[in-house]
Amino acid sequence: GGGQRLPAAISIGTNPTFDDVPRRTVEAHVLGRADLNLYGEEIGIELVEHLRPMLAFDGLDPLLVQMRADIEDTARILEVPVPEPIRPEDVTAQ
């Protein structure tokens, strides 16, 4: 916050793994900041590179594996350290 630029992996889509999200949403996973909750906040984002299309996964575990790969790819692209792995309790479908 506070005008800072923070590296993030961005998801833009309908969250097909959790069928309870009927409209397109934009979610920002700030690398290394599982404590930072931006839901409901107004933020600016700068899109740098498209990683992959939106996919539906067969549950939380395969989703977490792909999210880890996406975060590692994002860290490499943005030339920042790869953060610690995310935990299931850090993932919410809001």
Q: What is the pLDDT of residues 5-29, one digit of tens each?
A: 999 999 998 888 877 667 888 888 8
If one counts the domains in the chain, the total is 1
The answer to whether residue 42 is domain-embedded is yes
Other C-beta atoms lying within 10 Å of the C-beta of residue 42: 5
The answer to whether residue 73 is domain-embedded is yes
The answer to whether residue 2 is domain-embedded is no
pTM for this structure? Answer: 0.78
The answer to whether residue 64 is domain-embedded is yes
Q: Are 84 and 71 a contacting pair, CB within 8 Å?
A: no
CA-based end-to-end distance of the chain: 20
Domain boundaries, position 63: 8-90
**Per the structure block, which two tokens stand in for 39?**
């839901």
3: left (phi over 0), alpha (psi -120 to 50) or beta: left
59: left (phi over 0), alpha (psi -120 to 50) or beta: left
List, for residues 33-48, the tens digit of each pLDDT value: 888 888 888 889 999 9
